[in-house]
Structure 1
Amino acid sequence: MTEHVSENLSDHAYWNERYAGSAHGISAGAHGIWSGEPNAVLAREAAGLAPGTVLDLGCGEGGDAIHLARLGWRVTAVDVSDVALARAAEHAERAGVAERIEWQRHDLSETFPTGAYDLVSTAFLHFRDGTLSPRVLRSAAGAVAPGGTLLIEAHGGPPPWQHDLPDDLAFPTPEETVATLQLPPGEWEILRAERHPRSQRHPHTGEMATREDQTVLARRALR
């Protein structure tokens, strides 16, 4: 979520337009505007966890949620866009895992899902100005059950082809993200806080480029 767009649109309206294929001349393909594949970091980290309950924040068209459901997780998947959620539900039906996923619409700046989860995952849950919301991140940590895991995957900078972002825009570092979480000492273990490269295809030309992302992985202690 790092595109520089009109401030006149709410997040709800902007993402509904984008997923409908009308924003910025983007046309949704047969599988939507994303690949339909799970985030690689999420797939790697989830492979080492026993399936339980998971909260997928910013689920988009459901790639992560469907992957987790196939692994046996019970998924609560959240997005701000009705269009994305409807498309994700269709994908889940075709994948045969619809009964394992509950879809919820939330503008996370206003409302947040209830409950405690064995895994809470946020993948690129940036606001449109590139920032990560401290309140949303702390709410995500608060939703992790004792013994559970928090996974935050975020951009470490803009894609190399994007040059229209504000001059003062600064993407947080992994260390800054950890500090923002304000995790109580002794209650959490930071398993990973690191930058890493990721290949990404240009949305219009199809050319591949490398950008920097960040991963923060933390485990909450059993009480």
Structure 2
Amino acid sequence: MNLFTPEFWDERYAASQQIWSGNPNPQLVRHAAGLTPGTALDVGCGEGADVLWLARQGWQVTGLDVSAVALARAARSTAQAAEPGVEQRMSWQQADILTWRAEQRYDLVSAQFMHLPRPHLQRVQQELAAAVAPGGALLVVGHHPDHPRHSGHEEWPDMQFTAEQVAESLDPTQWRIVVCDAPTRPAVMEGVEVTAVDAVLLAVRVV
């Protein structure tokens, strides 16, 4: 099955009660904590941990994902965990990122570990940038090419990227690069402790 289809992700989420850790992505916490809350779009929101974290910080957040199963789980689990008033700051949207077009602009657009074949990735990153309002921030985080590889994923290197590659897609007259880095962090992959290498791009739209 093509792993970029709604059917693939619906099946994957339906096969397990929980896939991800339930914790917000560390680079989101690190780099969004200092931003002034406004409207936010979390692209590829999965089970909703990042959406919940942002809503708790005061953001009005839309979680977007290809999987209706993931979105139903995210809405249910975040509603159960949310403090009074937080649930009202979260909404959910099902969309295929391969054909998605930005219909409005946000003060923060976050895409955490969204890996696609190169032609698709470049188009999607252009749409992510188009969804950022003037003065807003774009945060793209992924696995750097130096990140340890998963077994059985021969295509994986073609879908990894550097922060510099993301930055090159942004018009320098319209964007200010705040962070362009490849930080490391401890992680567990396939039961083994490894040193993860992230690609982190934080940029602010100036016009």
TM-score for the superposition, normalised by structure 2 = 0.89
The correspondence of residues 15-54 of structure 1 with structure 2, limited to 5 A, is: 15-21=9-15, 27-28=16-17, 32-54=18-40
Residues 59-82 of structure 1, C-alpha deviations (whole Å, 9 max, x = no match)? 000010000001110001100001
Change (3 A) 1:65 1:167: closer
TM-score for the superposition, normalised by structure 1 = 0.83
Percent of paired sites with the same residue: 42
Change (3 A) 1:19 1:168: closer
Distance 1:35 1:119 in 2: 23
Retained in 1: the 8 A contact 2:149–2:156?
Answer: no
The correspondence of residues 120-139 of structure 1 with structure 2, limited to 5 A, is: 120-127=109-116, 129=117, 133-139=121-127
Is structure 2 residue 8 aligned with structure 1 residue 14?
yes
Distance 2:159 2:19 in 1: 26
Retained in 2: the 8 A contact 1:131–1:171?
Answer: no
Query: Please, which runs of 5 or more residues in structure 2 have no aligned partner?
Result: none
SS of residue paired to 2:21:
coil
- 2:198 counterpart letter in structure 1: D
Retained in 1: the 8 A contact 2:108–2:138?
Answer: yes
Is structure 2 residue 136 aligned with structure 1 residue 148?
yes
Residue equivalent to 2:200: 215
Query: Please, which runs of 5 or more residues in structure 1 have no aligned partner?
Result: 1-5, 22-26
The correspondence of residues 50-89 of structure 1 with structure 2, limited to 5 A, is: 50-89=36-75
Residue equivalent to 1:194: 181
RMSD (Å), alpha carbons: 2.1
SS of residue paired to 2:158:
coil
Distance 2:33 2:73 in 1: 25
Retained in 2: the 8 A contact 1:190–1:217?
Answer: yes
Residues 9-60 of structure 1, C-alpha deviations (whole Å, 9 max, x = no match)? 6521111111112xxxxx43xxx11011101110111110111000100000
Change (3 A) 1:132 1:175: farther
Aligned length: 203
Measure how far apart 1:113 and its partner are. 4.2
Change (3 A) 1:10 1:132: closer
- 2:44 counterpart letter in structure 1: G
SS of residue paired to 1:169:
helix
Retained in 1: the 8 A contact 2:143–2:199?
Answer: yes
Residues 118-140 of structure 1, C-alpha deviations (whole Å, 9 max, x = no match)? 1000001112x588611110111
Distance 1:43 1:10 in 2: 27
Residue equivalent to 1:105: 94
Retained in 1: the 8 A contact 2:98–2:120?
Answer: no
